[in-house]
Structure 1
């Protein structure tokens, strides 16, 4: 079964909007685990507009499932944060400073030397590495050369076109996943996956190990409740 990692950035956004500690980010993370999530994901950014650097330390101290820290490894503070906490996984995302949300994967060919260097930094610390990539065969092949353990397929394009033509929307992802499997790369996925498109994606992507879902899941929880929502997402993956 594909693992569900809940991205709790939006919980931190809500907390930060009023100051204080309501909602309690750590409690929400622990509740997500208790409700069945197999991982917790955070994506700290330099302006700390949602996840604060201290949050990462607080979460690392209590999380029992897989902890996944996403971010831009060009930021030395991010690199230091990951190395200090040694999560189960670090996901390298090529965000620009001030970017609202992730909107593209790495060009693993253009940045091959840099990514190889950074992957080695994290792997030498005993941290599993995943690289955020678009569903392009050449970029998947380029990821292999960096030494990464996994790729995370950036699924915004799939989600955007899902309701127009499901088969067409998923086709490049199937090919990319097949190539990754042939090369021995683990496969994660994330961005705009939700209760409408997740099941079809999971059923058609071979060897899908993990999905990271935040915005849609937290939004659904406003209507269905957090526990019920996590169960609904797990059901799509079963």
Structure 2
């Protein structure tokens, strides 16, 4: 296969899936991983994609659903910093909800030794916490999404309605003054909307790149949350806006 043909095939995969892994491309295109790495390096220089450890992705469109294996290495330092901030708001004996976001995945890795009840829709988070004798783990099932390694759909929401928690930690794809909290799919948005009604206190956790845009599916108004935890200080006009709605900013 000619190099230009191979790179066009990579572009087609990115347009369809929004993210790709080196392993998958190597297998699909029948070339070595090193060849794929060279292709991705050149394509990044040409502005076609953004490389990350193990693959690449594009930020294109309001419904851009990036594979979790890619998301786990995007802005990893920022997400870990957010997780450390979240940890300060969790007390022994709390019941908490962790969503399917990779930021909550970072948080879960720091909760192993805590005495908690944890509800989650994330298979990866459940796997991390399943080894802890201190955590009462409740896995919320439903239709499995391989892209996010989590459960979604009506059955997920139906099960979630049986519970109330002290604190919920949810992420989002976008936060906008005009359009509120939005996400990549109706299923994710429905879970997040529901848990804001089932928690005594809801934390919206996100990195600063998500502040401003709008994504595909409406989750809830900003007033539905109680606090925002971000990796860096929000602009002053955002802090003033949230303060007027009695929303804490950390």
TM-score, normalising length from structure 2? 0.32
Larger Rg: 2
- Where relative contact order (Cα < 8 A, 6+ residues apart) is larger, the structure is 1
Q: Determine which structure has the larger helix proportion and give its number.
A: 1
TM-score, normalising length from structure 1? 0.33
